[in-house]
Structure 1
Amino acid sequence: MSFKIAIIGAGSVGFTKKLFTDILCVPEFKDIEFALTDVSEHNLQMIKAILDRIVEANRLPTRVTATTDRRKALEGARYVISCVRVGGLEAYADDIRIPLKYGIDQCVGDTICAGGILYGQRNIPVILDFCKDIREVAETNVKFLNYANPMAMNTWAAIEYGKVDTVGLCHGVQHGAEQIAEVLGAKSTQELDYVCSGINHQTWFIDLRLNGRPIGKDELVAAFEAHPVYSRQEKLRIDVLKRFGVYSTESNGHLSEYLPWYRKRPDEITRWIDMSDWIHGETGGYLRYSTETRNWFETEYPQFLEAASKPIDREKRSNEHASHILEALETNRVYRGHFNVKNNGVITNLPHDAIIESPGFVDRFGINMAASITLPEACAATCIASINVQRMSVHAAISGDIDLLKLAVLHDPLVGAVSTPEEVWQMVDEMVVAQAAWLPQYAHAVPAARERLSTSKVKTREWAGAARRSVRSIEELRAEKAALKQAG
């Protein structure tokens, strides 16, 4: 087979390498072309050198090109994969820092909450630019695979306004299944059969079977509470499991910021989180992790390049959906996964226009979703609260309506639990002014926002959050890695 895959945001080096090696685990794909594009020439050259080394080491005819000219990369592409982070770590730092001044403590801030909503405002204009180019220069029946957060908002915009055949992809369901398999004593997730449905980062294991035997709430609670690690790291998820009756796919830290109950009081936050790793609830944890990962990669790049000389091990193909979807579409080998698509009645008690994450099957006819799924009422209520925020956020990003943007932030569950309307109005003004370089749709609103900030009497405070850790130096990271290696 010979076709072209374009990867936008290919400068996300580690993730691009994973997608690349996964796809090349499919024997029929050895003769395809990967067209890499990114705004960073530096990152592009690093990832191209790594991928070229993989191709050479495995004696493949695979072609790899790299260009900052996105439109050139998209020409003739059958598949387009996006893993962009618009605004980079500079804008992301403001997504965490500014809301903290108003008492809003986020762990990740990339899906909803104040940070996730502004992240969507930066992404959506760029996503629409991608879609325009895709429509004009890619293959006629091109498929757009979006890995970029905020997943639901980006996918919503691409489908509704970009008019491109789009599917959103995430790995939360797979990670949740791995945890469940472990606590139940299964040898692998192959022993599990499950229906997991909802919206991205708020999907729920509503039907769970181990080797054909149904697993109920009480058994699952007992299994998690008995686990020596998860009982400590996933306290909030276990509490939600007890109250809702079903397990959430999302990490302890992520889930904590989508709900209005666990992060609204600073003295309560530490009760529900664990500081052993960023993903369990640390304030600004993903920002710290991303910063350290970038610094580590830049410093240790020669080792990454050397590791690329090893043969591809097909047994280590990851559970990221992209390669499996492409394999199913091109070879007709059926794949079952969980995909982000427009609802259109698939989940009976969520809005038709929402972007859901739910089970589907892929073959040469496309992605076919399992229909007529009904969520437990509490799960649906939680999802609908987020969907309403997502819808307003998408519409605000498209129209550049700063008042609608403020209403979207006001209706966010955690923001609404922490902040007053006056604080929300000022916070959004402050974030729009700080991120104006990435928010062209709000250019007309920035001068008035800046004027309001100069005369505002709403008080803020400089606050690091309830559970903040400092970014570790390369030397500290090396020492910790060495200590773990010695201990292991």
Structure 2
Amino acid sequence: MSFKIAIIGAGSVGFTKKLFTDILCVPEFRDVEFALTDLSERNLQMIKSILDRVVEFNKLPTKVTATTDRRAALEGARYIISCVRVGGLEAYADDIRIPLKYGIDQCVGDTICAGGILYGQRNIPVILDFCKDILEVAEPGAKFLNYANPMAMNTWAAIEYGKVDTVGLCHGVQHGADQIAEVLGAKSRTELDYICSGINHQTWFIDLRLNGRKIGKDELVAAFEAHPVYSQQEKLRIDVLKRFGVYSTESNGHLSEYLPWYRKRPDEITRWIDMSDWIHGETGGYLRYSTETRNWFETEFPQFLESAARPIDPAKRSNEHASHILEALETNRVYRGHFNVKNNGIVTNLPQDAIIESPGFVDRFGINMAAGITLPEACAATCTSSINVQRMSVHAAISGDIDLLKLAVLHDPLVGAVSTPEEVWQMVDEMVVAQARWLPQYADAVPAAKERLSKSRIKTREWAGAARRDVRSIEELRAEKTALKQAV
């Protein structure tokens, strides 16, 4: 088979390489063309060097091109994959830093909460530009696979306003299933069957079967509490399991941001999180991890390039959805996964216009969702709170209405648990002014926001958060990796 796959934001080097090698695990895809595009010429050349090395070592006819001209990359593409982070780490640092001045402590800040909402404001205009190009120059009927966060907002905008055939993809369901299989003593995840549904980063395992036997709440709680690692790392997640009756896909730190109960006070934050790794609740944990990863890659690039000279091993194909979806669409080998699409009755007790994440099957006829799923009431209530925030955020990003943006942030569960309306209004002004270069739709609102900030009497504080860690140096990272190798 010969067709073209465009990857936007291909400078996300590690993830791009994973998607690339996954796709080339499909024998029929050896003749595919990969068109890489990114704003950074430097990052593009680094990832192209790595992928060229993979192709050369494996003696493949695969073509890899790289260009900063997005339309050129999209021209004739059948599939477009987006991995973009609009504003990069500079804007992301503001997503964490500014809310901390108002007492809002985020672990990740890329889905909802103050950081995730502003992230969506930066991304959505760019997503719509992608959609315009796709409709104009890509292969007719091209499919847009969005991996970029905030997943639901980006996908919502692409479907509702971009009018492009779009599916949002995430790996949270797979990671949660791995944990459940482990605590239940399964020899492999293939022994575990499940129905998982909700919205991205708030998806719920509403039916679990281990070798055909139904697993109930009490058995699952006992299994997690008996696990020597997860019992400490996932304390908040286990508490939600006890109260809601079902397990959430999302990590301890991520889940804590979408609820109004666990990160509202510093002493509560330290009670529920675990500092063994960033993902379990560390303040700004993903920002630190992303910064260290970028620094490590730039320093150790020669090693990354050398390690690319290895055989592609289909047995090591990852569980990222993209390659499996493409394989099913092109070969008719059926794939079951969990996909982000517009609800339209798929989940009975969530809004029709929402972007839900739920089970579906892919074959040559497309992505076919399993309809008629009903969430437990507490899960539906929690998801609906986030959906209301997402809807207002998308509409604000489209219209450039700063008042609607402020209302979206005000209705965020964690922000509302921590901040007053006056604080929210000032915080949003501050974030919009700080990120103005990535927010063209708010250009007319920036001067008035600056004026209000100059007259504000609302006090803020310089606060690192309840559980902040410093970015580690290359030397510290190298020492840690050496110690881990020696331990093994």
TM-score range, shorter chain: over 0.9
Q: 1:410 Cα shift? A: 0.1
Q: CA deviation at 1:141?
A: 1.0
Deviation readout 1:382-436 (Å, 9 max, x if unpaired): 0000000000000000000000000000000000000000000000000000000
Alignment of 1:52-451 (within 5 A): 52-451=52-451
Provide the C-alpha distance between the structure 2 equivalents of 1:2 and 1:481, rounded to a whole number of angstroms: 40
Aligned-pair CA distance for 1:485? 1.2
Report the Cα distance in structure 1 between the residues aligned to 2:353 and 2:482, rounded to whole angstroms. 50
Aligned to 2:477: 477
CA distance in 2, matches of 1:280, 1:266: 15
Alpha-carbon distance in 1 for matches of 2:328, 2:484 = 40
Query: Percent same amino acid among aligned pairs?
Result: 91
Q: For residues 269 and 322 of structure 2, what CA distance do their matches in structure 1 show?
A: 36
Deviations 1:98-129 (A, max 9, x none): 00000000000000000000000000000000
Q: Deviations over 1:120-146 (max 9, x none)?
A: 000000000000000000011100000
Q: Tell me the CA shift for residue 334 of structure 1.
A: 0.2
User: What's the offset of the Cα at 1:439?
Assistant: 0.1
Query: How many residues are paired up?
Result: 488
Post-superposition shift, 1:486? 1.1
Once the two structures are superposed, what CA deviation does each residue of 1:229-284 show, in whole Å capped at 9, x if it has no partner?
A: 00000000000000000000000000000000000011111000000000000000
Between the aligned partners of 2:233 and 2:430, the Cα distance in structure 1 is 34
Deviating runs (4+, > 4 A) in structure 1? none
SS of residue in 2 equivalent to 1:458:
coil
CA distance in 2, matches of 1:100, 1:84: 25
Deviation digits for residues 461-480 of structure 1 (CA, Å, limit 9, x no counterpart): 00000000000000000011
What SS does the corresponding residue of 1:387 show, helix, strand or coil? helix
Aligned mates of 1:268, 1:219 — CA distance in 2: 27
Kindly state the Cα deviation for residue 188 of structure 1 after the two structures are TM-superposed: 1.1
- Equivalents in 1 of 2:188, 2:150: separation in Å? 30
- Rounded Cα–Cα distance in structure 2 between residues aligned with 1:188 and 1:376: 28
Greater mean alpha carbon deviation, residues 47-56 or residues 477-486: 477-486
User: 1:361, 1:314 → 2: CA distance?
Assistant: 21
Q: Deviations over 1:202-251 (max 9, x none)?
A: 00000000000000000000000000000000000000000000000000
Q: Within 2, Cα distance between the matches of 1:456 and 1:303?
A: 51
1-structure distance, mates of 2:250, 2:93: 22
**Counterpart of 1:39?**
39
Following the alignment from structure 1 to structure 2, what is the Cα–Cα distance between the partners of residues 356 and 158? 14
Q: Which whole-Å CA distance do the structure 2 matches of 1:417 and 1:59 have between them?
A: 57
Give the secondary structure class of the aligned counterpart of 2:239. helix
Task: Determine the C-alpha separation between the residues in 2 that align with 1:486 and 1:189.
Answer: 29
Gaps of 5+ in 2: none
* Secondary structure, counterpart of 1:18 in structure 2: helix
SS in 2 for 1:429: helix
Q: Say what the alpha-carbon RMSD is for the aligned residues.
A: 0.3
Task: Encode CA deviations 1:434-474: one digit per residue, 9 max, x unaligned.
Answer: 00000000000000000000000011000000000000000
Q: Distance in 2 between matches of 1:350 and 1:69?
A: 40
SS of 1:108's equivalent? coil
